[in-house]
Amino acid sequence: MSNLWIEALEPTDRRRIEPHLNERPFVQGQTLFDAGEAVDEVWFPLDGVVSLMTVLADDRMVETAAIGREGLVGVTCGPLNARASSRAIAQIEGSAACCPADVFSDALSKSEAMRTALSRFTENLLAQVQQTAACNAQHRLDERLARWLLTLHDRADADRFDLTQQDIAGMLGVRRATVSEVGALLEDRKLIARGRGWVEVLNRAGLEKASCGCYRMMRAVSTDLGVPLPKFD
């Protein structure tokens, strides 16, 4: 596997960071960094999915964005070498190529093309965050669940991923019992299958129809900005 953001760089720009990359695995549920912590590394996922979580005062949290091989995690949470404004948690296990933040910052300072590529990705990420916030406030839970599963499916390397009801509830900011009820609706329509600790997408096209329009809007922004999603672009 490769990181698509790095892969799209010009050879000269890739050489600025590749000698400094250190591949590191992450497991589901692992916190890569927490809100308020200093960000001293940039993570480029090679596989798996990382969720950016907004943490509330009572330590509850809700997902605001998901990042896979199309992007990077670290500079997207605040300025380089600053403190993170969100919690980054591995949603689906995988691995990442990690680069010291000061090395990446130096590479950016020397390359306008890299700065442009980063701007496109962060603009796409901001659109995802904003659309997710609106979706969580306005749309039915079954539509939100379909949208969220599609977002994961875009970035995962398989149709089936390890997820518990509690994982999904935490991402959507609802009770586990509510997720179970709504998940059963999608399962009855043969859109997904569920088991103890896993979910599988059975009917991609049907799940898109079950989702709210937010998913299609997010995909359109990614396409317009030239941010390829791993599974389908």
- For each of the domains in the chain, give its residue range(s) and CATH number, in order of start: 4-111 (2.60.120.10), 135-225 (1.10.10.10)
Whether the pTM exceeds 0.85: the reply is yes
Sites in the chain below the pLDDT cut of 70: 1, 76-82, 231-233
* pLDDT at 76 (0 to 100): 60
Instruction: Say which amino acid occupies 138.
Output: Q
d(C-alpha 202, C-alpha 49), whole Å: 20
| Structure tokens belonging to residue 232 | 């389908």
Instruction: Say which amino acid occupies 87.
Output: R
* pLDDT at 227 (0 to 100): 85
For the chain, the DSSP string reads ---HHHHTS-HHHHHHHGGG-EEEEE-TT-EEE-TTSB--EEEEEEEEEEEEEEEPTTS-EEEEEEE-TTS-BSGGGSSTTSB-SSEEEEEEEEEEEEEEHHHHHHHHHH-HHHHHHHHHHHHHHHHHHHHHHHHHHHS-HHHHHHHHHHHHHHHSSSSEEE--HHHHHHHHTS-HHHHHHHHHHHHHTTSEEEETTEEEES-HHHHHHHS-HHHHHHHHHHHHHT---TTT-
